[in-house]
Amino acid sequence: FFSQMPPKAPPKPCGVEFPEDSEGKRPTTEINRETFAVAIEAIRPDLAEKVRAEKKWRFKYTKHVVDQVEASLQTPEAALDVAKAGLQYLHYTMEFLRDDKPYSINEAMSKFTTGTFQTGVVQGTAEPRNEAYIPYKGGVLRGTALKTQVDKWVRAGVIELSCGQALCQIADNRKWLDLSDQVFVMLGASSAMGPFPLLMALGATVVAVDIDRPHIWKKLFAICKASPGKLVFPLKQSQDTYASEDELAAGAGCNLLTETPEIRNWLLSVESGQDMTVGAYAYLDGPLFVRISVAMDAIISDLVDKRKAGVAYLCTPTDAHVVPAPAMAHSSEILRRSPLWQALLAMCLKGPQAMRPNKRKPVTAENGDEFYVCDAIVPDQGPNYILAKRLQHWRVMITRSKGCVASSNIAPSTATASVVSNKSFALAYQGMPQFKPIEVFQEETSSAVMGLLLVHDVRNVNSAANPNTELRNPLEVFTDSSFHGGAWRCGYKFGCIGVGSVLSALFTKYVLRTYLALYNGAQVAGWSRALFDIAMYASAPTSNNLWDVAGPTIGFFQWLAVLEVVHSLLGMVKSPVGTTAMQIWSRVMLVSAINYVPAVQGSDNKFLWAMTVAWCITEIIRYSYYGLGLYKINVGLLTWLRYTLFIVLYPTGVAGEMGCLYKSMPGMMDAPPSGANPIVSYFLRPILKNSLGYFLAIVPMYVVGLTTLYGHMLAQRKKVLGGGGGKKVKKE
């Protein structure tokens, strides 16, 4: 019976839609491509022809987007002409369907000017805090801790200098953070990346527009009531007709796609007489993102023209942006210093998956100014996503040219629930941090940061968002205060590291961690055996020398540690290659010297006792700490031992090493060179012909090495175990 039932008919199109073609379908590719063609045709008809001739638009659109950005940099007027042409085409081509009748967006917004909503209000009761804060890695950054972390982000290349300066200005200026005089309209108020919680916490009036789903409004009500802010929202009926909060939540909300003109009508009247900033935060997948972005743009356009509203957007880093020259230079430096495995992977990947350097030639404008464009577009996002973001760029530039504040800061890659629900994206996000300086943020961090940058743009008259701030080209409004998460300064193009990120995540999860766990476990076992042998020898000496008992084990596991240089070289661990190689070399050199000179192998050599015991205890603790850390197992006692015993063990071990090396000098000179021990024969013997070589070469090496390592470990001890300003994150 059920198999004979006719398939369920698709819902009738209504609201904002792509136009219908001659076959009764509503395709997206043609409109998408033609929008870019019409936009660029305003300044470069030749490029428009190339866009229209592109047969594989779904896979080749990225080049044309970059071409458009670079062409727009020729003059400020060119950028605005492109923006105006693109938006005009969308407003006259995209349709608004009501009662089965199609209208262009422009016609619909002109025709439906009377319908509206009732207004609901919820007032928060909390005391205002007027303090900048950023949730980060389980804690909350405030004050000095916030500025310290911002400085680290800037130095690493995770954010731009202008962004760091903006965040520090906000942290230092509490008056800016009193938003009781500000009205923000949020189209898509419940967006994971939107600044609703922060705006509420700072006492703003937020006019919230979101879909009519009770659970959404209950969440917004709860956030508001726990804050000093004021929430204004659309209702189907007068607020006094609702008997409970549940009923109020059920009656709240509207539909941006189908009630676009009515939302515009309501917003033109709400909070009358006050300046407002309207932000577009709603997101839907695929073609729906274009539709809802066009709907929001139709609303915003009228609010800008009729209420002189400012605008606010969240830019994606996965786009083509004008970037500072130092960002391009830094990306080249990071590429040069990238781990060997990335270079090998880049050699193996070909075609669409190829990893290409993040580098483009500068664009020279008509007046001689040079601009750098970073192509960080991820092709898999698709042309609908890039069109939706591009029309937002166009609206920002046009709004700013009309004398209104236009805030459009770049948000970083963020592990929102919608993104990580896709297993491929989730794996890519896990592996991306292997490509320095990329950092993937949690949504609470991104939301707070973008909210603070919005406040900065609204408050600071010198921000790039302010129309009175001079820019060389309107596209530079997106350059300022960029929190791009490292996309601009990555050595490889951000859009090309997807496969590498996934492979890195899989390798780390299923191969690397297991290998490193086995390696660290083997080292713990080896050094434990050596310490056991030393202890047994000390309690019951035999005719054998101390080195005869423990030397073979120590030598084997010390030579095994040469693998750590390979680990560092391949980027398997974070240790610097040079430092690691120097530490391993000094140990291997000592083992070779002792093996070469029997006179220093005896139990009467107190330097040998000091060195071997210090080595064993240090390595047992160190490798145990590393091994457990791979599985995020934190043993308090082990951590304390790791960052405390070195105070005694490091100088003890170094004293033993230097003493053993000094005592071995006569024996090295007396014995003939041997190919079986090339380190002694061809390195140590030429240096240690006399005491002068020892004091000129060996002593300075140890003094510098110990001082550097000791200072580093003391700093790490302060950071890990506390003792002042070492903590980075303040927890509430």
User: Where exactly are the structural domains of the chain?
Assistant: 11-106, 504-721
What CA–CA distance (Å, rounded) separates 193 from 189? 10
Whole-number mean pLDDT of the chain?
93
The set of catalytic residues is 650, 657
Average pLDDT of the segment spanning 653-678? 84
Q: Is the pLDDT of residue 726 over 50?
A: no
What are 431-445's pLDDT values in tens digits? 999 999 999 999 999
Q: What pLDDT does residue 154 have? A: 98
Note if the bond before 437 is cis, omega within 30 degrees: yes
Q: What is the pTM of this model?
A: 0.84
Average pLDDT of the segment spanning 643-661? 95
Q: Is the pLDDT of residue 402 over 60?
A: yes
Per-residue pLDDT band at 422 (split at 50, 70, 90): confident
What CA–CA distance (Å, rounded) separates 447 from 695? 58
Q: What pLDDT does residue 544 have? A: 87
Both tokens of 471, joined, read 């820019």
Q: With 0-12 CB in 10 A as exposed, 13-18 as middle and 19+ as buried, what is 570?
A: middle
Q: What pLDDT does residue 576 have? A: 84
Q: Is the pLDDT of residue 569 over 90?
A: no
Report yes or no: 473 and 365 within 8 Å, Cβ to Cβ.
yes
Report yes or no: 611 and 546 within 8 Å, Cβ to Cβ.
no
Helix (H) or strand (E) holding 427: helix 423-431
Per-residue pLDDT band at 340 (split at 50, 70, 90): confident
Average pLDDT of the segment spanning 314-331? 96
Identify residue 486 by its one-letter amino acid code. Answer: G
Q: What pLDDT does residue 351 have? A: 80
Burial 127-156 (b: 16+ CB within 10 A, else e): ebbbebbbbbeeebbbeebbbebbeebbeb
- In the chain, the N- to C-terminal Cα span, in Å, equals 61
Report yes or no: 168 and 147 within 8 Å, Cβ to Cβ.
yes
Q: Is the pLDDT of residue 727 over 70?
A: no
What are 193-237's pLDDT values in tens digits? 999 999 999 999 999 999 999 999 999 999 999 999 999 999 999
Q: What pLDDT does residue 9 have? A: 61
Quick one: CA dihedral 226, 227, 230, 236, positive or negative?
negative
Average pLDDT of the segment spanning 80-104? 98
Q: What pLDDT does residue 693 have? A: 80
Burial 683-697 (b: 16+ CB within 10 A, else e): ebbeebeeeeebeee
What are 33-67's pLDDT values in tens digits? 999 999 999 999 999 999 999 999 999 999 999 99
Q: Is the pLDDT of residue 6 over 70?
A: no
Q: Is the pLDDT of residue 26 over 90?
A: yes
Q: Is the pLDDT of residue 341 over 50?
A: yes
User: 308 — phi, psi (to 5°)?
Assistant: 55, 40
Which residue in the block uniquely carries the two structure tokens 């530039």?
397
Greater model confidence, 72 or 695: 72
Q: Is the pLDDT of residue 267 over 70?
A: yes
Which residue in the block uniquely carries the two structure tokens 């950023």?
134
Per-residue pLDDT band at 4 (split at 50, 70, 90): low
Q: What pLDDT does residue 85 have? A: 99
Q: What pLDDT does residue 709 have? A: 87
Both tokens of 135, joined, read 């949730």
Q: What pLDDT does residue 315 have? A: 95
